[in-house]
């Protein structure tokens, strides 16, 4: 069914109302506050209804959420599809919870029969407490289908006398999801209308879609994305499936130089679906909630990326250039400070920190409430449980900088980026999402655990390579003399001052080194490539350091040679270790007891 995009202002005009200005869409330099609900997943999903399995728990989760949104004066509050019970909506109507004037609440509500939402709208419009609007539904569908999946916008408008009026605007899902039991295909009454706020030249607009609306949305991206915050709420076991991600692919293709952002908000990981006989269907799903932005919206600052990581917001790169900030997959409420989508004036001085985490709440079963101040677990310790030889040291590195871990292991497998800038955030291979399933590959972000997921496969390979590499210190490796101190042991590390090094020896005073371990799979071409890339990078860095230090030509040349001495590429052939030496020669048979300082030895 074709989507029809309708301006909210036109809906209000038909009732002689005007939209109160929304703070989140005000094009000013000051940031706004957004609060997001990612609920825990115990659901009922059948031909009768979709929503929380435990009605009392669902009410408490969501009633507390809207209460927090109101108390914190959040400018934008979002809950995912099929989440907010209608008794919470009733509390809002009756005045128990109200958004501040200028705020916008976007609530994915539990399913409701079409005739019940029509009755609710009539009661609100006649009662005087608020106004309620939804598109007219097809009578045939109303008669044949059991429920609608509504997104409920709640905001303030003004009447002709200047009085504030609470307005509830319901947007219905336009495309039934192809679930394994065809529940929505047989039960969902779909709409045709998607509502847009604040569209116009020079304005910042907002538009939302519901889960499988994404199937029909790629054709509308060209029209809808300009100067727009797009919001996609979901209850989705596979949020990165190619059918759901097609509109993101289109957005990345045409929106790179536009003022546009995308917020995808799903339920938390590991949804349990009640089957009605006392058993559950375990989805084993990722959450996949993320905020996406084009290149110009974020400076990719290392310190900010690490800080956000510790607060449960994980930076990755989508489609080569787009920034993505993934929410920790656990059940939570996350309060963010967000930079505005756009504002008048010189954009060159626009702040590019994009987002900051202000507060995080997690659910307390014992207290039956949300508790603030929770620390997000990135799962890295869990990922390291099978790799004890590297677990402790890598945890220490990650404590200081999660990005340092990614860079240290990137050197180990051979950097994929440009020789001298491979460690830049946008070039780190681990930070790029898997292209097929948008699966996170960062070893320090172990949120998904299914062994078949591309990100899990990627992380396991890197961690196993690191575990194997640590064992090189106790193996018959023909270490070249300049790096023979590594034979006594080393640990992984990364520092900006020596960006192409990734290990520090346990003993000795020669300092850090660059170790690449290619295992059994590398042929001569790959060995040459890894060695030459790092040799070039190390030499260029040594030149820069020497020039800044004011060294003469002879001292500069000596610094370059000595710097390249601290590079070693290790590989295996026929169960024997080999290395690519500092001068590019293969060394396989150097005696293990040779002196590391014998100047007669061939480096």
pLDDT bin (cut points 50, 70, 90) of residue 521 is confident
- Looking at residue 583, its pLDDT comes to 59
Pairing between strand 228-233 and 205-210? Answer: parallel
Which H/E stretch holds residue 409? Answer: helix 402-413
CA 377 to CA 373: how far, in whole Å? 13
The mean predicted confidence, pLDDT, of the chain is 91
Structure tokens at 465: 């390579």
Question: In this structure, what DSSP letter does residue 22 have?
Answer: P
In this prediction, residue 544 carries a pLDDT of 87
Give the per-residue pLDDT at 181: 59
Beta strands in 173-251 (DSSP E): 193-197, 205-210, 228-233
- The 10s digit of each residue's pLDDT in 380-424 is 999 999 999 999 999 999 999 999 999 999 999 999 889 999 999
88 touches 62 (CB < 8 A): yes
Q: According to the model, what pLDDT value does residue 545 have? A: 84
- Which of 65-69, 111-115, 261-265, 275-279 is predicted least confidently? 275-279
What is the model's pLDDT at position 590?
38
pLDDT for 138:
92
Cα separation values, 85 from 53, 57, 80, Å: 11, 10, 12
Residues in the chain: 603
In this predicted model, which residue has the larger pLDDT, 257 or 37?
37
Contact 66, 93 (CB under 8 A): no
Q: Give the mean model confidence (pLDDT) for residues 303-328.
A: 96
Rounded to an integer, what distance in angstroms lies between the CA atom of residue 112 and that of residue 122? 15
Rounded distance between C-alpha atoms, residue 107 and residue 273, angstroms: 21
Which of 592, 413, 603 is CA-nearest to residue 487? 592
Q: Residue 320's pLDDT is what?
A: 82
Q: What would the pLDDT profile of 435-465 be if each residue is shown by its tens digit?
A: 888 999 999 999 998 899 999 999 999 999 9
pLDDT tens for residues 179-189?
655 788 899 99
Whole-prediction pTM value? Answer: 0.93
pLDDT in tens, 554-594: 878 887 888 899 999 999 998 899 998 665 444 444 333 33
- From CA 278, how far away is CA 500, in angstroms rounded? 56
DSSP run (H or E) holding 578: strand 576-580
Residue 601: per-residue pLDDT: 32
Please report, to the nearest 10 degrees, the dihedral formed by the alpha carbons of residues 209, 41, 99, 226 taken in order: -20
Q: Where residue 91 falls among pLDDT bands split at 50, 70, 90? A: very high
């Amino acid at each position: 069914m074709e989507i029809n995009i309708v301006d909210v202002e036109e809906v209000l005009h038909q009732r002689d109302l005007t939209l109160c200005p929304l703070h989140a869409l005000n094009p000013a330099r000051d940031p706004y506050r957004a609060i997001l609900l990612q609920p825990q997943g115990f659901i009922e999903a059948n031909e009768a209804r979709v929503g929380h399995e435990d009605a009392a728990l669902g009410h408490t989760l969501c009633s507390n959420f809207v209460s927090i949104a109101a108390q914190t004066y959040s400018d934008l509050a979002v809950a995912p599809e099929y989440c907010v019970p209608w008794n919470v909506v009733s509390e809002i109507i009756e005045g128990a919870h109200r958004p501040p004037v200028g705020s916008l609440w976007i609530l994915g509500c539990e399913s409701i029969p079409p005739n019940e939402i029509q009755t609710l709208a009539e009661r609100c419009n006649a009662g005087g407490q608020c106004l309620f609007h939804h598109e007219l539904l097809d009578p045939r569908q109303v008669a044949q289908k059991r429920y609608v999946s509504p997104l409920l916008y709640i905001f303030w408008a003004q009447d002709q006398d200047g009085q504030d009026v609470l307005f509830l605007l319901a947007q219905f899902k336009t495309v039934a999801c192809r679930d394994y039991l065809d529940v929505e295909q047989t039960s969902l009454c779909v709409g045709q209308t998607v509502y847009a706020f604040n569209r116009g030249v020079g304005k910042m607009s907002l538009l939302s879609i519901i889960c499988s609306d994404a199937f029909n949305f790629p054709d509308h991206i060209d029209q809808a994305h300009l100067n727009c915050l797009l919001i996609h709420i979901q209850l989705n076991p596979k949020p990165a499936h190619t059918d759901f991600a097609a509109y993101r692919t289109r957005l990345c293709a045409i929106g790179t130089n536009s003022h546009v952002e995308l917020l995808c908000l799903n339920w938390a990981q590991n949804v349990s679906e009640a089957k009605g006989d006392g058993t559950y269907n375990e989805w084993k799903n990722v959450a996949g909630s993320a905020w996406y932005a084009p290149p110009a919206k974020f400076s990719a600052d290392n310190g900010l990326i690490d800080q956000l990581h510790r607060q449960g917001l994980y930076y990755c790169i989508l489609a080569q250039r787009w920034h993505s900030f993934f929410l920790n997959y656990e059940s939570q409420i996350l309060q963010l400070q967000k930079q505005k989508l756009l504002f008048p004036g010189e954009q060159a001085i626009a702040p590019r920190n994009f987002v900051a985490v202000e507060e995080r709440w997690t659910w307390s079963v014992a207290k039956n409430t949300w508790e603030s101040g929770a620390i997000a677990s990135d799962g890295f310790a869990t990922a390291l449980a099978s790799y004890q030889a590297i677990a402790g040291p890598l945890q220490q590195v990650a404590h200081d900088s999660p990005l340092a871990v990614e860079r240290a292991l990137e050197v180990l497998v051979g950097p994929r980026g440009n020789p001298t800038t491979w460690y830049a955030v946008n070039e780190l291979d681990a930070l790029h999402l898997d292209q097929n399933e948008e699966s996170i590959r960062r070893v320090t972000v172990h949120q998904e655990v299914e062994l078949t997921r591309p990100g899990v496969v990627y992380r396991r390979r890197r961690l196993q390579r690191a575990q194997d590499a640590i064992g090189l210190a106790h193996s018959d490796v023909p270490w070249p003399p300049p790096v023979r101190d590594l034979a006594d042991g080393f640990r992984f590390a990364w520092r900006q001052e020596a960006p192409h090094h990734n290990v520090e020896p346990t003993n000795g005073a020669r300092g850090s080194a660059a170790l690449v371990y290619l295992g059994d799979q590398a042929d001569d071409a790959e060995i040459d490539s890894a060695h030459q890339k790092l040799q070039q990078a190390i030499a260029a860095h040594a030149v820069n350091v020497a020039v800044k230090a004011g060294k003469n030509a002879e001292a500069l040349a000596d610094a370059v040679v000595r710097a390249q001495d601290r590079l070693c590429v290790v590989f295996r052939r026929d169960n024997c270790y080999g290395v690519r030496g500092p001068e590019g020669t293969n060394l396989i048979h150097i005696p293990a007891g040779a002196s590391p300082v014998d100047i007669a030895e061939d480096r």
